[in-house]
Amino acid sequence: MAIAPGSRSTPESRAWWLGQGMFYPAMIYVLAVIGLPFALAVVYAFSDIKVGSVGYHFVGLQNFKSILHSATFLRALYDSFIFTVGSQILVLVGSTLLALALEKKFRGRGLVRFLMLLPWVAPVSIGAIGWKWILDSLYSVINWVLIRIPILHLDKFNPPQWLGEPALAMASVIVVHTWRLLPFSTVILLAGLSAIPKDIPEAAEIDGAGFWRKMFQINIPMLLPILNVALLFGIVFTFTDMTVVYILTRGGPYDSTQVVPSLAFFTGVLGGDLSEGAAISLFMVPILVIVAYLMLRAANRSEIT
Amino acid sequence: MAVVETKGLTKVFKKGELGAVNDVNLTTQEGEFLVFLGPSGSGKTTLLRMIAGLETPTSGQILIGGQDVTYLSPRERRIAMVFQSYALYPHLTVYKNIAFPLKAQKVPKEQHKQKVEWASGLLGIEKLLHRKPRELSGGERQRVALARAIVREPTVFLLDEPLSNLDAKLRTSAREELEQFHARVKTTTIYVTHDQVEAMALGDRVVVLHQGEVRQIGTPKEVYDDPADTFVATFLGSPAMNLIPQERDIVGFRPEHLLPASLISPDRRVSMHFHFSHEEYLGAERILYGSLADKRFEAKDVISRLPSRVEASFAPGSIVEFAVPRNELKFFDRATEKRAAPRVVSWQ
């Protein structure tokens, strides 16, 4: 007999009620915070709704056609790819090095591990505002230092404008985002490293492998599955992120750091064109689904035990 | 091939604590199969890891082939080691696993194929070369680990409990294969185990370790028949040697020597009253549990190991006359528990 949801007499039915009680709050939360906005975005993307407009008017694929013809959008898509690929390369290399270093035992390792986590733990806006000052056009600390290094021959009155020149601005945004994501990726890799049995690198040492061979032929290949996971998270977090861009450059100069999420925000929320903003943000879904699918498949294949 | 020597080798993990290995002096012989035997925590694995170079000694010296290697890295010692877990490289095929030491030691590439084929042929794993470690059974993994160790013809072989991950049946055949393997390659081998049967079966000599100290070094026959102290006496042999404390010393005898008195001629035996309690039938033999009935032995528990061909039945609770051949009594000093000179005993 199936468990009767109505009766409260048996331990089984109490367990059933407990299960429902545990499950639904989480379910409702996910639906309200992710499901509802997503559904709304889909509904908006096929309409001509603007802030303040009344009623719903279905326009089909109109919005998608229009953004595909928009140079601003294509530029943002291109910038998003540069932003994602650039920062992920830096994050992968950086976090692998950091994880390998922090895995070794040394005096003060606990403190270093804690400090390393700060960029991730601190609120993004505070970190990014700090960087805004570091990269400021007049008060940049970096420029202050660079000007005082004689061999660089920097023009004191015309130092690099970190956030004011297209190429430098993109580089700055990438570096700051890398700084933010590095701790997360490092922690994932540290967990992965500690899962590698100690005797495998030891066996490699006895077999005669030196530092580099042990690193590139044993440690890193064994880390690949977990690197893959770290990279997948990194790509999702980067491709959908607009905080760093919003605080540092607002997409400028000349849209050179405008990424898809920030464009969606500027168009849909600040510009009031809800339907086009929704269409722009929906554009990210298929791209991310394909990336996630490919990477999870690769992770399955390279699985090691 | 080379001789391994340790001089006053000591390892202390935490200052102020007792050393994991204390002042160990050992010398292997050329081509010898030396077994480190001891319970867990006896320091046998730490000792092996120091010889391998995976652990730095707190003090003392290690020599391989006369060269001081105490502070050399593992790769400079030209040794091979088989780990308890086998430590195969999970992302590499069997072929690449075996070829790894060749690549790492910069053996010319043309020789790799031939050497890998030689090593895998020696262990009968030619058909597994294209597989990954996860597709192998426990016994196959062990052979791959051995092939990887032998492929670059090391001067010394170190084996850390290589059979403990195999099931009981496979263990016996793998043990025999190891024996034949050593007979063929004749490389100096140091083998760590906590299993006294393995130690006795494989070792040319056995080093018995306890709490980081060497208790006895000798051939399997020496450590079994002439244990240096009560620890060696009870650690080797199953069931353990019976130990009867006396006023001045401890008298020990092995369960297989405690037999019904009628089986031993009267002029050779020392008799005692065995208070029989229960028995286990093990096929080839029976294990009899009981105690010594005489009051002055304080009903000390003793075990007798009787071959099944001896037909005798005992009623639980009955007192039977048992005896031990006089020359099979071992004496230990009561205070130091070290071996002592034999004396005449008459317990009747």
Contact B45, B52 (CB under 8 A): no
Collect all residues of chain A within an 8 Å Cβ-Cβ radius of residue B54.
202, 205-206
- B97 contacts in A (CB within 8 Å)? none
Residue A59 lies in a domain: no
pLDDT truncated to tens, each residue of chain A (305 aa)?
A: 455 555 556 888 888 889 899 999 999 999 999 889 888 888 888 887 777 777 777 787 878 888 888 888 888 888 889 899 999 999 999 998 888 888 888 888 888 888 888 888 888 778 778 888 887 777 777 777 777 777 767 676 677 777 777 778 888 889 888 988 889 899 888 888 888 888 899 999 999 888 899 888 988 888 888 888 888 888 888 888 888 888 888 877 887 788 888 888 888 778 778 888 888 888 888 888 888 888 888 777 665 54
B54, B103, B152 ranked by CB distance to A202: nearest: B54
- What are A18's two structure tokens? 């407990």
Chain A closest CA to B78's CA: distance in Å? 8
Residue A92: exposed, middle, or buried by beta-carbon count in 10 A (0-12, 13-18, 19+)?
middle
- In a domain? residue A50: no
Nearest CA in chain B to A209: B104
Range of the domain at A209: 70-304
Q: Compute how many other C-beta atoms are within 10 angstroms of the C-beta atom of residue A292.
A: 13
Q: Which two tokens stand for residue B54?
A: 């995976």
Half-sphere exposure in the Cβ direction for B230 (13 Å, CA): 15
Q: Percent of chain B having pLDDT more than 70?
A: 99
Interface with chain B: mutation pick from A205, A206, A224, highest number of B CBs within 10 Å: A206
B134: closest CA of chain A, how far (Å): 6
Which chain B residues contact residue A220 at CB under 8 A?
none
pLDDT value at position B222?
93
| B chain contacts of residue A215, beta-carbon cutoff 8 Å | none
Contact B327, B253 (CB under 8 A): no
Which of B87, B100, B134 lies closest to A202 in CB terms? B87
Is A202 in the B-facing interface, judged by CB distances under 8 Å? yes
For chain B, the 3-state helix, strand and coil shares in percent, each to the nearest 5, are 30, 30, 40
Is residue B56 within 8 angstroms of chain A, CB to CB? Answer: no
Contact list in A for residue B101 (CB cut-off 8 A) is 207-208
A60 burial via Cβ count (<10 Å: 0-12, 13-18, 19+): exposed
Is residue A20 domain-resident?
Answer: no
Q: What CATH code is carried by the domain that includes residue A286?
A: 1.10.3720.10
SS3 A83: helix
- Contact with chain A for residue B91, Cβ under 8 A: yes
**A49, part of any domain:** no
Q: Confirm whether A230 is domain-assigned.
A: yes
Structural domain includes residue A23: no
* Bridging pattern class, strands B4-11 and B79-82: unpaired
In chain A, the residue whose alpha carbon lies closest to the alpha carbon of B79 is: A206
pLDDT at residue A1, as a whole number: 45
Residue A203 lies in a domain: yes
pTM of the model: 0.77
Burial of A56 (0-12, 13-18, 19+ CB in 10 A): exposed
Size of chain A, expressed as the number of residues it contains: 305
Q: Could you give the number of structural domains in chain A?
A: 1
pLDDT tens-place string over residues B129-173: 999 998 998 888 988 998 998 888 888 999 999 888 888 888 888
**A27 inside domain:** no
- The whole-angstrom distance between B136's CA and the closest CA on chain A is 12
Tell if the CB–CB gap between A205 and B79 is shorter than 8 Å: no
CB pairs under 8 A between A and B: 66
Cβ–Cβ contact A215 with B under 8 A: no
Q: Choose among A200, A208, A305: nearest Cβ to B101.
A: A208
- Residues comprising chain B, all counted: 348
Both tokens of A60, joined, read 């089909």
